[in-house]
Amino acid sequence: MIECALVAARSLEDMLIQSWGNCIRIFPAVPDEWKELVFNNLRTEGAFLVSASRKEGTTQWVNIKSLAGEPCRIKSSIHGKISIVKNGQTIQQNADKDEIIEIELKKGEEALIYAGEIVPYLTISPVHINEGEYNFWGVKLNCHINLK
């Protein structure tokens, strides 16, 4: 049935990004086992295009583009000393783990959020997997069933 694939895709998307209550949440429901993730230009409420990358279990960067100039509120797992680049200017601030970051973006403007002071590698590319550890349905478990 066609709706099964749509429900599966929506469930995966909700693990990567959510937007409700005037806030965009990045990687809100990702299992700890999913160390490497990336998504590009997912749309959210408020007319934003959002891209993000996660490596070694930590969000590396989040890029937000406003398509309508609505208020932008982001909640990500990036915390500690963060940098926000907007219009060629970098603003550095401290962010708590569950803090919501507010960024004023006019229509067409973009902002980049990342941890620390060094701009991370901003490339969207397929995540490398070890062939023997995964199958089409997720992580392979080392279980043996004796059917005697």
Q: What does pTM read for this prediction? A: 0.82
| Digit-coded pLDDT (tens) for 16-53 | 999 999 999 999 999 988 888 999 999 999 999 999 99
Write down the architecture of domain 2-139 according to CATH: Sandwich (2.60)
- The mean per-residue pLDDT over the stretch 80-102 comes to 88
Neighbour count for residue 40 (Cβ, 10 Å): 12
Asked whether the predicted pLDDT for residue 125 surpasses 90, the reply is no
Q: Name the phi and psi angles at 86, rounded to 5.
A: -145, 130
Task: Pull the structure tokens for residue 16.
Answer: 């990567």
What pLDDT does residue 5 have? Answer: 82
Q: How many helices (H) and strands (E) does the chain have?
A: 1, 12
pLDDT above 70 as % of the chain? 86
Look at residue 57 and give its three-state secondary structure.
coil
What pLDDT does residue 53 have? Answer: 93
Q: Are 74 and 99 in contact (CB under 8 A)?
A: no
Domain boundaries, the chain: 2-139
Asked whether the predicted pLDDT for residue 66 surpasses 60, the reply is yes
